[in-house]
Amino acid sequence: MAKASAAADKRINRRSILKAGAALAATGPALLREGHAEAQPQANPVRALFAYVGAFTTPERKGHGGGINVYRVDPTSGAWTHEQLLEVVNPSFLTLDQAQRFLYAVHADLEEVSAYSIDKQNGRITALNKQSCGGKNPVHLSIDPTGRWIVTANYSAGTVGVVPIEKDGSLGPRSDLVNLPGEPGPDRKQQASSHPHDIVFDPSGRFIAVPDKGLDRIFVFRLDAANGKLVPNDPPFVATRAGAGPRHIAFHPQMPLAYVINELSSSVTTYRFNPQRGDLQPIQILPSIPASYTGNNTGAEIVVAPAGGVVYASNRGHDSIAIFAVDRRDGTLTPVGWAPTHAKSPRFFCLDPAAKFLYAANADEGYSVEQNTDTIVPFSINQANGMLTPTGQVIKTSSPCTIVFAGA
Q: For 114, left (φ over 0), alpha (ψ -120 to 50), or beta? A: beta
Amino acid of residue 57:
T
Q: What is the pLDDT of residue 21?
A: 46
What are residue 85's phi and psi, to 5 degrees?
-125, 120
Strand order in the sheet with 310-316: 298-304, 310-316, 320-326, 333-340
* Residue 31, Cβ density class (10 Å: 0-12 exposed, 13-18 middle, ≥19 buried): middle
Do residues 97 and 149 touch, judged by C-beta distance below 8 A?
no
Cβ neighbours of 226 (radius 10 Å)? 8
Return the H-helix or E-strand segment holding 53. strand 49-55
pLDDT-flagged residues of the chain (< 50)? 1-43, 46, 365-372
Q: Would you say 154 and 161 are in contact if contact means Cβ atoms under 8 Å apart?
A: yes
Task: Return the amino acid letter for 125.
Answer: I
What DSSP string describes 217-264?
EEEEEEEETTTTEEEEEEEEEEE--TT--EEEEEE-SSSSEEEEEETT
The pLDDT value given to residue 292: 97
Under 8 Å between Cβ of 142 and 124: no
Q: Give buried/exposed letters for 286-324 (b at 16+ CB in 10 A, else e).
A: bbbbbeeeeeebbbbbbbbbebbbbbbbbbbbbbbbbbb
**Cα gap 376→343, rounded to integer Å:** 9
Instruction: Give yes or no for a contact between 192 and 161, defined as CB atoms under 8 angstroms apart.
Output: no
- Whole-angstrom Cα distance, residue 250 to residue 257? 9
Other CB atoms within 10 A of residue 122 CB = 13
Residue 264 — left, alpha, or beta (φ > 0 → left; ψ -120 to 50 → alpha)?
Answer: alpha
Task: Please list the residues that pair with 333 across neighbouring strands.
Answer: 326
Q: How much is the pLDDT for 364?
A: 55
Helix (H, G, I), strand (E, B) or coil at 51: strand
Q: How far is CA 252 from CA 95, 154, 305, in A?
A: 19, 25, 8
Is the bond into 353 cis (omega within 30 degrees of 0)?
no
Reported as a single tens digit per residue, the pLDDT across 27-81 is 443 332 233 333 344 445 546 899 999 999 988 888 888 999 999 998 777 789 9
Q: How many CB atoms lie within 10 A of CB 43?
A: 5
The amino acid sitting at 359 is Y
- Asked if 56 and 90 count as a contact pair (C-beta separation under 8 A), the reply is yes
Q: Tell me, what's the pLDDT at 275?
A: 97
∠ CA 383-384-387, nearest 5°, is: 75
pLDDT the model gives residue 408 = 60
pLDDT of residue 59: 85
Cα first-last separation, the chain: 55
β-pairing verdict for 112-118 and 125-132: antiparallel
